[in-house]
Chains A and B, each alone.
Chain A
Amino acid sequence: MTASVFFGCTFIAFGPAIALFLFTIARDPLRVIFLIAGAFFWLCSLLLSSLVWFITVQISNKESSSQQKGLLIFGVVLSVLLQETFRFGYYKLLKKANEGLLMLSAEETMPISIRQLAYVSGLGFGFMSGAFSMVNILADSVGPGTIGIHGDSQHYFLSSAFMTMAIILLHMFWGVVFFDSCEKQHWWSLAVVVISHLLVSCLTFQNPQYVGSLVPTYIIVFLVGLWAFFCAGGSLRNLKLCLTCKDKDFLLANHRPR
């Protein structure tokens, strides 16, 4: 009966990502391409950080636990910085690609806006990082055993799944905020993105106190999500209109002056 754990964890970790992919990405081939490219860029950052990791592990003193711990923290910080660097690189690339796309486009309009690109690439980052952090765990969740013979918490699978979900969502939000800040050249908000990423990564050092890492992470998810919502052009007024189903009137009202 541990197949239920496998499917439960898969749905938790990748449910939102799958839903977003199905309803917003899958219909548009261009978006799929940018999603995959985003995933690739994340992988490149992973490659680079793992190479550095290997070299440092080889030259470090394997017996000293404090050194190994320091190495781990160093690895986390380096990897986060590398990921954000690659996000910036991807942004630069997309800007160039956008110009090319504009040239190719028959309608002389952008086939995809930079905000959409931000969202798509952020989701690409999220997909790949989520997959990397979750797949090994999922492989072991099939059972028949569960974590805990050495006294660890048996909520490991569940909390890893929720953590992965948070990371995927965060990557998406970070992508939106990051690209928006680049567009508007708000460098301080770039710094906030990087710092919140660092913060979330370092929160996992709290484990196995899962509450201690999950609760702050979800607070950050909520805050960054809110920020991303506003960056993407959302507003409280829009939200209210949406929720009260007055959007049709709103559209009409918006169009009338034209």
Chain B
Amino acid sequence: MPQGGRLYGALQIKILPASCVIGCFSIALTSSTYSHLLVLISMTFSVVSETRKMDLESSKWVIILLVCGLYKNVSCNSVEQKIYVELNNTVPCVRLLNATHQIGCQSSISGDTGVIHVLESESDLEWPLSKGPNPPYMVLLESSLFTRSIMMKMKNESNRVAGVAVVVPNTSPPEFSPHTTCPNENTGVYSDNYGPNLAHCNTTVWNPLGNGLSYEEFDFPVFSLKEDNETEFIKQCYLDHNRAVNGSAPQYPLCAMQLFSHMHAVTNTPTCMRRNDINFSINPEMVCDPLGDYNVWGSIRPYNDTVFGHKENESVVIAAARLDSRAFFWEVSTGAEGSISGFVTLLAAAQALREVTHEAPPTRNILFAFFQGETFDYIGSSRMVYDMENGKFVIDLDNVHSILEIGQVAVHSGTNLFLHSDPVSRRNNTVNDEVKNLVNNLQSSTAGLSFLLVEPNVSQPLPPSSLQRFLRAQPIPGIVLADHESAFNNRYYESFYDNAANLNLTYPSDLSPEEQLEFVTDTAQSLTDVATVVARALYKQAGGNESLVNTIKADPKIVTQMLYGFLVSSNNSWFQAVMAPELKNILKPSPPEYYVGVAMSSTPTRLVQYLLANLTGAVTNLTQSQCQKPDELPNESRQMYSYLWVQGIVPPNSTQRDSFCVRASVRLTKAVSPAFELGEYASKDYSTWTESRWKFIKARIFLVASRDLEMLTLGAGVAVLFTSLLVTYFISTKADVLFSSMREPASAAY
């Protein structure tokens, strides 16, 4: 709203309370923004008129706030400001539900309040759990103490813990993974019917560092705090008020914290989906939403996206990677090694294949698939397989020749990459031959590069990967390319610390953001090599011209730009250039958020969609309106291609962007678990993860008064009330006598 409009509104409000001050009196107690403004105004009235406000300082605050309130519509009042300090940089842990369980954290509906205790060591837990005299406690942890044993003690051993706040440091600990040791244990391919000796990570524990905290349920809120001034303030508050001297009880008032993260959904997905369907009111209240997003896919030869099902004489090589990641806390997942290394490599490989597939198209098609929601029991890949099985995708499973999946590929110099395959399906000779062929194609592509591709022990199962979902449906030959031979190299799997630092992504300190974007890091260089290998292998696998293989080279500049955009700042000139004008707002000066979420088409999905379109598609000379309605032109078809209008770069000596239309065979398909399509909310085959809804998430600190003072106040109040009742009664019964002379003028009137 323009400033003028706001001022006008303020003027209206100014005149309003005058006439309705009495009416608004009670309304002002409620907490809507508008009435808060009225509270503010009425408070100022009282300051001006009586100055019975507490002090000058607060009166000044009122003035400042009033001015703020008029210009910015700030909703707060000065008494509240004197009591509470709102914490703005907090991240909660929220509740997720599946077919059988609920995980995550929640507070009671009016927030959980506890006296702050800063935990110094594990033995210090005694104070909040049993010894401390002022329960319940809000435990403030350094991240080094955010371990399974401490969290489980607080969960199980006492109900004196009101909540936990974890201070996340700026530097990473040596290792931390809140995920389980065996990710997606029950929805992969291995089960009692399929390689029973490999099921439940019997052979290889993929994530030995996983402590499983992400999959625990806590009945108290858990928030994370950044290592900043706010956290310093909390610690100072603790030191000033709550510190126990020699084990004695600290003196009131005590510093306390209140966390609000009340979750609407309970028990499990079937329960909350059933509650979603109960419509008693006009606005049905949803309690949970299925996790989901969109898969991004593109192919080197376009498919008509209105013709589904099996295609005769069509053979497709699928190159896959996953897009999402998670962390213990909501929406802070970074997934640098866990997912970004893989999909950046695949994007670079897709770009490397653009030239050669135009000049000498391979006999088989290559389909690049980027799956969303893989962390949560393979949402994206299970949906694509389901669509293929049910004739809802442009190809079906019989058209799939083979699959090459890029897993975690944070390759460092001197290390090798590993080609994981499924030992169970390889018992079949034809599959085994195809897998061997794919391995050969990959291994022969490494010529001139610094690393080798090695097959791990044959009896080892596939690591957690989308390929497992394809194998569940059909024995398709496939390889998962990863940087680990058995257990993950990633020490921060599905945690907040799987960030740029985990990929050794460092820039010289004297570079501007624009120079950093262009600076080719070692990480980018090694991922470029991996992308080259992948691209060459895919080309060979698709039956391309062998003599052209060595001309395929991924571009390190593109890789480094992508790494910068996905790990450092998505709001950079290159991402701006490849995005649609209406989507430029999703670019932020921070890395995007890789948690799959319930909102459709999250930032990573959009970024990958536009990047893939720009890297594999063709620049057309269509105008913006033609780009929106290409079907009106003779040689263009929306069914074959998607047409994306992108911003383009700002050419030197100009302020206007060179926008253009990109034609690419890049599509989005729904990545919502088939369980929700089928209504099987207790499905054992498909992901059933839902995210609970909540009203608001808030954290604040304040002081709590001792019970003695509270009781003193109440006692004084009751005493004043009864004394005045007695005295008034006495005076009113004897008013005739007491004010006897008062009678005289009245009697004189007789």
Q: Give A residues with C-beta under 8 Å from B.
A: 1-2, 4-5, 7-12, 15-16, 18-20, 22-24, 43, 45-47, 49-51, 53-54, 57, 62, 65, 68-69, 71-72, 75-76, 78-80, 82-83, 109-110, 113, 115, 129, 131-133, 135-137, 139-140, 143-150, 152, 154, 156-161, 163-165, 167, 201-202, 204-205, 207-208, 232-235, 238-239, 241-242, 247, 250-251, 254
Complex CA–CA separation, A162 to B29 (angstroms)? 22
Q: A20-B728, A109-B750 are in contact. Are A50 and B48 (CB under 8 A)?
A: yes
For window 144-182 of B, CB contacts with A under 8 Å fall at: none
Complex contacts, B77 vs chain A, CB 8 Å: 136, 140
Give the shortest distance, in Å, between A189 (CB) and chain B (any CB): 17
Q: Are B42 and A132 in contact (CB under 8 A)?
A: yes
Q: Are B59 and A232 in contact (CB under 8 A)?
A: no
Q: Can you list, as one digit per residue, whether each of B689-705 has a CB less than 8 Å from chain A (1) or not (0)?
A: 00000000000111111
Q: Are B49 and A156 in contact (CB under 8 A)?
A: no
Known A22-B725, A46-B45, A247-B737; further 7 A-B contacts with Cβ < 8 A: A46-B21, A49-B45, A57-B67, A62-B63, A83-B49, A148-B82, A254-B740
Q: Are A144 and B45 in contact (CB under 8 A)?
A: no
Q: Which residue, of B22, B25, B713, B716, has the highest number of chain A Cβ atoms within 10 A?
A: B713
Complex contacts, A24 vs chain B, CB 8 Å: 728, 732, 735
For window 702-740 of B, CB contacts with A under 8 Å fall at: 702-705, 707, 709-718, 720-721, 723-725, 727-729, 732, 734-740
Complex contacts, A163 vs chain B, CB 8 Å: 52
B14 touches which of A8, A12, A54, A72 (Cβ 8 Å): A54
Complex contacts, B64 vs chain A, CB 8 Å: 62
Complex CA–CA separation, A99 to B746 (angstroms)? 15
Q: A16-B724, A57-B63, A149-B237 are in contact. Are A235 and B741 (CB under 8 A)?
A: yes
Q: A12-B716, A109-B749, A233-B739 are in contact. Are A131 and B25 (CB under 8 A)?
A: yes
Q: Are A47 and B48 in contact (CB under 8 A)?
A: no
Give the shortest distance, in Å, between B282 (CB) and chain A (any CB): 31
B724 touches which of A8, A19, A154 (Cβ 8 Å): A19
Complex CA–CA separation, A76 to B44 (angstroms)? 11
Q: Are A4 and B737 in contact (CB under 8 A)?
A: no
Q: Are B256 and A16 in contact (CB under 8 A)?
A: no
Q: Does B546 sit at the interface, judged by CB under 8 A?
A: no
Q: Does B390 sit at the interface, judged by CB under 8 A?
A: no
Complex contacts, B113 vs chain A, CB 8 Å: 144
Q: Are A201 and B742 in contact (CB under 8 A)?
A: no
Complex contacts, B59 vs chain A, CB 8 Å: 72
Q: Are B50 and A167 in contact (CB under 8 A)?
A: yes
Q: Are B82 and A12 in contact (CB under 8 A)?
A: no
Q: Are A132 and B46 in contact (CB under 8 A)?
A: yes
Looking at chain B's contact residues, is the secondary structure mostly helix, strand, loop, or mixed? helix
6 residue pairs, one from A and one from B, having the closest CB atoms: A145-B702, A11-B717, A233-B742, A8-B713, A207-B55, A8-B717
Complex contacts, B237 vs chain A, CB 8 Å: 149
B740 touches which of A71, A208, A238 (Cβ 8 Å): A238
A43 touches which of B22, B712, B720 (Cβ 8 Å): B22
Complex contacts, A254 vs chain B, CB 8 Å: 740
Q: Does B109 sit at the interface, judged by CB under 8 A?
A: no
Q: Which residue, of A19, A53, A154, A165, has the highest number of chain B Cβ atoms within 10 A?
A: A19
Complex contacts, A5 vs chain B, CB 8 Å: 705, 710, 713-714
28 CB contacts below 8 A, A to B, read A4-B710, A12-B713, A15-B723, A15-B724, A50-B17, A50-B18, A50-B44, A53-B44, A53-B45, A62-B67, A69-B56, A72-B47, A72-B48, A115-B739, A129-B46, A132-B46, A136-B79, A140-B83, A144-B704, A145-B256, A147-B82, A147-B83, A149-B237, A154-B703, A154-B709, A208-B57, A232-B742, A242-B738
For window 20-59 of B, CB contacts with A under 8 Å fall at: 21-22, 25, 28-29, 39, 41-57, 59
**Which single residue of chain A is at the shortest CB-CB distance from B741?**
A233
Q: Does B598 sit at the interface, judged by CB under 8 A?
A: no
Give the shortest distance, in Å, between A224 (CB) and chain B (any CB): 16
**Which single residue of chain A is at the shortest CB-CB distance from B742?**
A233
Q: Does B66 sit at the interface, judged by CB under 8 A?
A: yes
Give the shortest distance, in Å, between B50 (CB) and chain A (any CB): 5
Q: Does B60 sit at the interface, judged by CB under 8 A?
A: yes
For window 257-305 of B, CB contacts with A under 8 Å fall at: 258
Q: A19-B725, A23-B729, A149-B702 are in contact. Are A158 and B713 (CB under 8 A)?
A: yes
Q: Are A2 and B710 in contact (CB under 8 A)?
A: yes
Q: Does B640 sit at the interface, judged by CB under 8 A?
A: no
Q: Does B255 sit at the interface, judged by CB under 8 A?
A: yes
Complex contacts, A53 vs chain B, CB 8 Å: 44-45, 48
A238 touches which of B256, B707, B715, B738 (Cβ 8 Å): B738
Q: Are A251 and B737 in contact (CB under 8 A)?
A: yes
Complex contacts, B18 vs chain A, CB 8 Å: 47, 50-51
**Which single residue of chain A is at the shortest CB-CB distance from B258?**
A144
Q: Are A207 and B54 in contact (CB under 8 A)?
A: yes
Complex CA–CA separation, A57 to B52 (angstroms)? 19
